[in-house]
Structure 1
């Protein structure tokens, strides 16, 4: 073996070993944040339902704690979510290491105390910082910083949604948006290690259920849901951006925290389904669907339209999060609404659970502009691939319709220097 061949063999061996380390650290971080958040969110939510006065205390305490941690511990810098990762990949700047504990802790506190968002963005940024850390260790690895960040993010998404393909596609569709040998190698190894970690701990899918086979008679309603989801994706994006960036919430920083906490309390009091990521409400519907009375239909409509607004209020108050959880929550209830309206008023025989799955994927595709991420993410969430054929057809269509109506997402709009009108 020539000296040159030895060098390249050693280089690739180092890359593969580093990718395995990235996959384990990012996967373990995502798994730890997921399990801790699920446990304490369930515990605190149950307590708030038994002792309603806690709904007054939880949002104030959670957002206040984040505010003071940022002031005293995290360099007085606010978290900007996935925007920070995109900025780092474009400018080749390093993500500060404090982003790992900052997003981990703030995301955890936000959700367990009722902030109406999820830990997905916290996982993305903290794992991206882990990937960036690897690039600091060896001189020749520094030029692959973006590749390590993407691989770490892919591993984190794999763990959160029980889907390696969702992790790979999310990194490609939303973060790096390119392919190369080094990207393929780092991502495949990191995702394989993260997937192996899930296998070792026997972590089940979040909404594990058995879906019924879809029927061709449902296709017109699938298309109807795709059109509605495209419109809703634009509504979600625009409402989050407008509330988060322009809605006046007080001139003094801590006053802003108190105002946002008060608004959270009011909405959570009347709509407890909006507490935290809202996944508990989806699980309740899957376990015991509510009869579709007129009041239940009105309540579902209100939940769908309020979720993005409450997520934006949470973010405006300093909470950590993004549009992943609101899209999953709203998509599930949007699909449920369409199926039940069609069954009640059009005599259709649609399967509500199937429409909840479709709704999640289509709203994610519309809001993230990432159709293949949405398809494999929702299949991983439910642990079932029965609907992958209509999903693979409808998700790109929904993304196309949504992007034609509004070409930006909450993650890329700042890159275009667009002023929202």
Structure 2
């Protein structure tokens, strides 16, 4: 049955390639990916809010609020338990970084279980009060939908990548009911090289996902009455952008520190206890940290400025403006820690949502604090929205996404000019210090980041060493002599010979010029063993090194060919510049045929 299915699928693909061009077929698939992506977004939002409302509203018990302190721990534990019991790899990637890694290093292949695993673990994490967002998981789930749809129909790398981006756009669009922001997110974060053929499928997927999500789950993320901005407040918008930009630098650096700290803990359940207990303590002090945090932003947009202190240890002082201001500043820093602990402790979520909350709270604290002085009277909701756009822009290095997302989800298109300014300035400040975003820094450090600013590095990053490895060389044993192998040496079409022992360990190499000189008695060594004659190579390539490192080693020593070994020094073959150039040319040709 399995054989028949594959055979019929191959026949379908052959018929499709004859009758339908790649461009038209991708448009058809973008409809499919958009509908499924919108459905996934609606399921995730509905499941998360079902868990949250059940715990908060349906369960009636006098002391249930005390359990809010351990609910995040339970949610993270269930997420880790699910991964350990039901996912074969025993690990679940989260965030946008693994999507970028899949594009650059895994031919845009994402395991199919991410379609549902991201939804299940994110709903458990956030539904039980984990302080992270749903947007990164749904983008990951959507990417998995697009990736596996392309693979199912046997499409090539660039086409699968486009469908992956369509899925991510559908996920963001469905999560926020913002098709324009979803499309721009995919272009700005995942597809740095924009073209019109890319634009159309993304637009279709994002639009359909928004329609499906709105039909199945119509509750808006934010609702507010937006008033026009005042020119006199322009200086304060610029000042807010600078403050948020500096904070995004702090957030990026503390993110790296927290990730490295949790990375030293090998037992996943120890991470659960550490993050869960820490979250419980933080939520006890700052109840606004429970869950996504969007409720706190919505209450501020509604004009309930003291709501941030409500139900906290300082609720009796909520009528004192300076208490509200100081408490909000503490919540901003606490939210940063809570989100990073949730994500690194085993829960599933991303920094997309926390970025919005943090930016909104900074905007609120800024405007509310200045209003307390009596010197100015700023429109607080406008600055909340501007802060959200600035934070998203700086942390993600995505000013267009930040600008259009806030305009769409709040209906605040009248604020477009301030949003443009704050998003740009925050991005420029962060970029001046942090060359790479929070998503791309890890990939850049490991050499796995695709950059369209450098075409050569981009193509090199797409190559895999195992596909250009040459191993049709005559292997010489260390105890043999040139006379023992003279026939094979003379008739070899290669001018280099690896010397490998019986255990497969690489000992060195010897060039044909030296062997011919020895065999012709032009120099001594006819009775010496190859172990004695072995020459040390200029350098050695490890099988896990990326192609950029390989080329740098070749160029540094001006050599044409180098041996490749594994971590235990077992001989695997050679890599040459000829094989690299041939693969480079093949990749360029494949890109040239894209979407013909």
Q: Which TM-score band (shorter chain)? A: over 0.9
- Output the CA distance in 2 between the equivalents of 1:174 and 1:312: 21
- Output the CA distance in 2 between the equivalents of 1:201 and 1:66: 25
- Output the CA distance in 1 between the equivalents of 2:130 and 2:388: 20
Question: Aligned pair in 2 of structure 1 residues 196, 247: CA closer, same or farther (>3 Å)?
Answer: closer
Tell whether the 8 Å contact from 1:135 to 1:143 is kept in structure 2 after alignment.
no
CA RMSD, aligned part only? 2.2
- Structure 2 residue aligned with 1:358: 386
- Structure 2 residue aligned with 1:31: 42
- Structure 1 residue aligned with 2:453: none
* TM-score normalized by the length of structure 1: 0.92
2:247 paired with 1:236: no
Q: Could you tell me how far 1:142 is from its partner in structure 2?
A: 5.6
- Equivalent position SS for 2:44: helix
- Equivalent position SS for 1:136: helix
Q: Could you tell me how far 1:100 is from its partner in structure 2?
A: 1.4
Tell whether the 8 Å contact from 2:41 to 2:213 is kept in structure 1 after alignment.
no
- Output the CA distance in 2 between the equivalents of 1:43 and 1:281: 19
Of the three residues 208, 230, 234, the one matched with 2:223 is 208
- Structure 1 residue aligned with 2:591: none
- Structure 2 residue aligned with 1:51: 64
Query: How does 1:78-117 map onto structure 2 within 5 Å?
Result: 78-91=92-105, 92-117=107-132
Q: Could you tell me how far 1:7 is from its partner in structure 2?
A: 4.7
Query: How does 1:5-24 map onto structure 2 within 5 Å?
Result: 7=18, 9-24=20-35
- Structure 1 residue aligned with 2:461: none
Question: Aligned pair in 2 of structure 1 residues 252, 9: CA closer, same or farther (>3 Å)?
Answer: closer
Query: How does 1:15-414 map onto structure 2 within 5 Å?
Result: 15-45=26-56, 51-75=64-88, 76-91=90-105, 92-140=107-155, 143-198=158-213, 200-201=215-216, 203-246=218-261, 250-287=265-302, 288-290=304-306, 293-345=321-373, 347-414=375-442
- Output the CA distance in 2 between the equivalents of 1:53 and 1:249: 31
**Greater helix percent: which structure?**
1
- Equivalent position SS for 2:151: coil
- Equivalent position SS for 1:277: coil
- Output the CA distance in 2 between the equivalents of 1:17 and 1:404: 42
Question: Aligned pair in 2 of structure 1 residues 402, 62: CA closer, same or farther (>3 Å)?
Answer: same
- Output the CA distance in 1 between the equivalents of 2:256 and 2:62: 31
Q: Could you tell me how far 1:13 is from its partner in structure 2?
A: 3.5
- Equivalent position SS for 1:340: helix
Tell whether the 8 Å contact from 1:158 to 1:191 is kept in structure 2 after alignment.
yes
Tell whether the 8 Å contact from 1:240 to 1:311 is kept in structure 2 after alignment.
no
- Output the CA distance in 2 between the equivalents of 1:373 and 1:68: 34
- Output the CA distance in 2 between the equivalents of 1:114 and 1:42: 11
Q: Could you tell me how far 1:393 is from its partner in structure 2?
A: 2.6
Q: Could you tell me how far 1:267 is from its partner in structure 2?
A: 0.7
- Equivalent position SS for 2:346: coil
- Output the CA distance in 2 between the equivalents of 1:140 and 1:354: 46
Q: Which moved more, 1:364-373 or 1:278-287?
A: 278-287
Tell whether the 8 Å contact from 1:122 to 1:321 is kept in structure 2 after alignment.
yes
- Output the CA distance in 2 between the equivalents of 1:52 and 1:80: 29
Q: Could you tell me how far 1:276 is from its partner in structure 2?
A: 1.2
Higher gyration radius (CA): 2
* TM-score normalized by the length of structure 2: 0.66
Instruction: Work out the number of aligned pairs and report it.
Output: 414
- Output the CA distance in 1 between the equivalents of 2:278 and 2:428: 35
Q: Could you tell me how far 1:292 is from its partner in structure 2?
A: 5.6
Question: Aligned pair in 2 of structure 1 residues 405, 418: CA closer, same or farther (>3 Å)?
Answer: farther
CA deviation vs aligned residue, 1:236-281 (integer Å, no higher than 9, x gap): 1111221122258855331221121111111111111001111111
- Output the CA distance in 2 between the equivalents of 1:232 and 1:216: 25
Question: Aligned pair in 2 of structure 1 residues 202, 322: CA closer, same or farther (>3 Å)?
Answer: closer
The runs of 5 or more residues in structure 1 that have no matched partner are: 1-5
Q: Could you tell me how far 1:37 is from its partner in structure 2?
A: 1.6
The runs of 5 or more residues in structure 2 that have no matched partner are: 1-16, 307-318, 448-596
Question: Aligned pair in 2 of structure 1 residues 10, 374: CA closer, same or farther (>3 Å)?
Answer: same
Question: Aligned pair in 2 of structure 1 residues 49, 178: CA closer, same or farther (>3 Å)?
Answer: farther
